[in-house]
């Protein structure tokens, strides 16, 4: 069976302020094949998101020159729970409208300083004029529209806490956090706010040779003919789904990006990756529309 991709790049992002290497910093894992078609992997660690974005851009440019097709996975939400764009009164396709909104509001400087808490507060002000749905900030960043703690039960009860994909992966030890949570262990809200504008810029550079799944491809099994015109396909991943045990001397995040890239490469070899792009059995038209237009989906969920 023909493989869809030649290389697999996984980015573990961070919303941290200040430069940092090692634990809780940006790791990028790459799995690819050598001249004898044997799979091998390498990992890169950078101190800032600007360096991470530049590294991803150069890796993709190198692969593009070689005519490679690359799967690029990011470990944060590419979409928001259904109804978010409507509450923000954004026009157009909800996912693209949210991406544009974040790109025009988020300021993320080269030294990693950023305004993610101010943007979270603005989202709350526009959605509810209250301190929800986004929550969780250090005391120094708390204000009228953003609190340090989770809002009282029932606050904004008509706003979904999770997307359909988080509900689909929740079992046993796998307990994904809501995108509304900005701060605390495992929180993904801050990463999503600073991450989406970076992905948008990378895709703008790629032009028609880049696409994002499932928004730009449809939520369906993808075949070689679908990937043929592309140099890169961007997806959302959750590395916790892949058992990335650290090798001797590896950081935890480093092991996760390596293991996720290797797992997707192996799925591609067996044809399982093609099927992973499709909806689960029993997905109805309403769910498919919700995932394709606003929420997105975690690859492999």
The answer to whether 137 and 187 are in contact (CB under 8 A) is no
pLDDT at 186: 86
pLDDT at 210: 97
Which tokens hold the place of 68?
Answer: 């490679």
Give the H or E element holding residue 235: strand 232-236
Q: What share of the chain is helix, strand, coil (3-state, %, to 5)?
A: 40, 15, 45
For the stretch 27-57, pLDDT in tens is 999 999 888 888 999 999 999 999 999 999 9
Parallel/antiparallel/unpaired status of strands 7-12 and 210-212: unpaired
pLDDT-derived band of residue 58, with 50, 70 and 90 as boundaries?
A: very high
Which residues are CB-contacts of 140 (< 8 A; sequence separation ≥ 6)?
A: none
Cis peptide before 42 (omega within 30 of 0): no
Which tokens hold the place of 165?
Answer: 């994909």
pLDDT at 1: 65
Give the H or E element holding residue 54: helix 49-65
Residues above pLDDT 70, as percent of the chain: 100
Distance CA 9, CA 29 (A): 6
pTM of the model: 0.96
- Across the chain, mean pLDDT equals 95
pLDDT at 50: 98
Residue position matching structure tokens 């954004």: 90
pLDDT-derived band of residue 5, with 50, 70 and 90 as boundaries?
A: very high
Check pLDDT > 70 for residue 188.
yes
Distance CA 172, CA 278 (A): 24
> 89 exposed, middle or buried (CB, 10 Å; 0-12, 13-18, 19+)?
exposed
Nearest to 12 by CA among 287, 259, 271, 220: 259
The answer to whether 114 and 195 are in contact (CB under 8 A) is no
For the stretch 148-175, pLDDT in tens is 999 998 888 899 999 999 999 988 788 9
């Amino acid at each position: 069976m023909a493989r869809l991709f030649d290389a697999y790049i996984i980015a573990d992002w961070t919303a941290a302020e200040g430069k940092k290497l090692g634990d809780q910093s940006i790791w990028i894992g790459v799995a690819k094949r050598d001249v004898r078609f044997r799979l091998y992997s390498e990992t890169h660690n950078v101190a800032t998101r600007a360096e991470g974005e530049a590294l991803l851009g150069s890796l993709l440019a190198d692969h593009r020159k070689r005519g490679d097709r690359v799967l690029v996975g990011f470990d944060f939400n590419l979409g928001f729970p259904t109804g978010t764009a409507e509450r923000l009164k954004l026009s157009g396709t909800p996912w693209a409208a949210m991406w544009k909104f974040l790109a025009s509001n988020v300021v993320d400087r080269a030294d990693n300083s950023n305004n993610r808490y101010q943007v979270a507060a603005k989202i709350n002000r526009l959605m509810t004029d209250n301190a929800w749905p986004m929550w969780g900030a250090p005391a120094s960043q708390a204000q009228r529209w953003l609190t340090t703690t989770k809002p009282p039960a029932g606050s904004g009860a008509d706003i979904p806490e999770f997307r359909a994909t988080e509900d689909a992966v929740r079992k046993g030890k796998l307990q994904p956090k809501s995108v509304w949570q900005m701060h605390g262990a495992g929180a993904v809200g801050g990463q999503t706010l600073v991450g989406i504008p970076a992905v948008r810029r990378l895709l703008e550079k790629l032009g028609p040779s880049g696409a994002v799944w499932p928004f730009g491809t449809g939520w369906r099994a993808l075949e070689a003919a679908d990937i043929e015109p592309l140099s890169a396909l961007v997806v959302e991943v959750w590395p916790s789904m892949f058992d990335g045990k650290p090798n001797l001397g590896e950081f935890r995040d480093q092991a996760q990006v390596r293991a996720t890239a290797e797992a997707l490469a192996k799925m591609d070899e067996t044809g399982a990756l093609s099927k992973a792009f499709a909806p689960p059995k029993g997905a109805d038209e309403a769910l498919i529309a919700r995932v394709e237009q606003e929420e997105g989906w975690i690859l492999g969920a």
